[in-house]
Amino acid sequence: MSLRPELPCEEEGRLNDPALRESFVERVFVMARWQQLCRHPGLTAARLVEFHTRHKYLALSHAEVEYRDLGRMVANAGRANMETLGAEYISLLMRALKRRATRRRHANVLHHLLGFLRDRLDSAARADLAQLIDEYRNEYVPLVVPIRFLRYHFERHPHEFVAMQYYLCPYPDALGVRNHL
């Protein structure tokens, strides 16, 4: 752990906490995608930008300050040593994802995503989704409920940027991790 602090690690007993378990599973899948990215042909500025773009809302759901710092790092990708920048980027991303994603932060991301449906849904449908997000934030429904409704609407009304986001599906649904958040 001291040699590779960016690697996902959690004590087994702590995985009984749904939020910690979800964070751990997210980090495992993010790290797997990162390792795949860094393999052949290797990390480039363009590939880092794409990776970051796909993980933006995951980072925002955990840590807003780090989310902004990651964005600044990526903005300088064309002028930096990619090996050094890559190590700094994944270290900061994994540190951000280790922070607990709160209901308030998730609701913020869900409202951001709802904004992409502004011109595609009527006001009643948008209001229903906003109410569902508020119900999640107020602990009436689990996270999977507003996520499923957003995914449903984005399947009917595709949006290129949202389609590439891992936030809506960061790992296989069959794991059922978000059912308890």
- Report pLDDT digits (tens) over 61-86: 999 999 999 999 999 998 999 999 99
Rounded Cα gap, residues 113 and 161, in angstroms: 10
Q: Where are the domains of the chain?
A: 12-98, 103-173
Model confidence pTM above 0.85: yes
pLDDT, tens digit, for every residue of 91-111? 999 999 999 999 999 999 999
**Cα–chain center distance at 176:** 16
Taking each helix axis from N to C terminus, what angle separates 82-98 and 45-62, rounded to the nearest 10 degrees? 20
Q: Which two tokens stand for residue 33?
A: 């995608």
Dist CA 102 CA 105 (whole Å): 5
Residues recorded for the chain: 181
Token pair for 87: 């190590």
